[in-house]
Every structure is written in structure tokens, then in C-alpha cells.
Amino acid sequence: MTTRGCAVVDQIVIPRDQWLSLLAELRRRGRGRHESGAFLLGHRDGDRRVFKGCVFYDDLDPKAYSTGVCVLYADAFDTLWGLCRQTGLTVIADVHTHMGHAGQSPADRENPMIARAGHLAIIVERFARDPVWRHRLGLYRYEGAHCWTDLGGLAARQHLKTGTFA
């Protein structure tokens, strides 16, 4: 089930140059032919999730895109958690591309990348081809039990900050 609205203000903060680099790398890795994705790493500062870097799915598992959609297995998560321990960072969200619109597929709803309440998932339409507008992103907060809150559309601009920060 997906609902619109939210009581908790979750914000992901990514400096603009890093956001644009992330999108460019998603485009490159998907080659306009298949999905690509990454885990956004950083730390929490209250209800803000501050981006510090990312790890792409195919760096965790070279076969992550072999079916045309993003699929990760247990070994990839072992590597991800090891990286988080090594760097002191945590997963603040995940992002992946879709060929068409940025809505959740049934597989996305049933298989959250991080099945923990509060996890944020971003979907970028058109395999992240330019231009990418925040109000056209899919942005979803996992509530547990395969339920999600839809934070996309114009609300995405409130939840995903991609500017220049002091």
C-alpha cells in the first residue's frame, strides 16, 4: 500500500555537484538499456540524512543488473555492511532508475532494498537521462510490512535537498 503525505519530515541533503555526478554515473552504468542503482551513504543529523558518498549496486555484485532490473543477494549486503563499518557511515537511502516513470513497481514494493522502517528509496525515471527534476522522482519511505509512504511529486522538493550548502 502506498499513501501520500507524512508526519515525519525526512530530508536527504546532497550537494548539487555530488547529486549531478551520482545521476551521471547511474546513466553511465545503465547505458540507457537497463536499471542501475546505488546505496547513498552518510550520517544522520536529527531528521536530516547527510550524504557523504555512495556505493553502486554493481560494485557490490557485478551481476546486479544481469536481469535488466536491480537485484542484490546476501553477499552484496555483507560487503555493504562491511563498508559501512569500515567508513563509519550508514545507508541513508537507496536510489535506482526505471525506464519509464518513477513509480514503484510491484517488485519494489515487495522487496525493499533495506527492509527497515524509515528507509528512503528514490526512483529516477528514464534511466536518469537529463533533465532530472526532483518533482518527477519517486521518493518513498518504508513503513514496514511492505507498506510505504509516497513522498514524491512536489513533496520530493521538501525531502530531497540538492543545492549548495555551507
Q: What would the DSSP string read from start to end of 72-139?
A: --HHHHHHHHHHHHHHT-EEEEEEEE-SS-SPPPHHHHHS-SS-STT-EEEEESGGGPSP--GGGSEE
128: closest CA among 51, 15, 21? 21
Tally of domains within the chain: 1
Per the domain annotation, does 166 fall within a domain?
no
Residue 10 is predicted with a pLDDT of 84
- Structural domain including 121 reads 2-161
Q: What are phi and psi of 7, to 5 degrees?
A: -90, -30
Using 50 as the pLDDT threshold, list the residues of the chain that sit under it. Answer: 1-7, 166
Q: Helix or strand or coil: residue 48? A: strand
Per the domain annotation, does 145 fall within a domain?
yes
Per the domain annotation, does 43 fall within a domain?
yes
Per the domain annotation, does 23 fall within a domain?
yes
Residue 164 is predicted with a pLDDT of 78
Contact 121, 35 (CB under 8 A): no
This prediction's pTM: 0.93
Residue 152 sits in a domain whose CATH number is: 3.40.140.10
Residue 9 is predicted with a pLDDT of 66
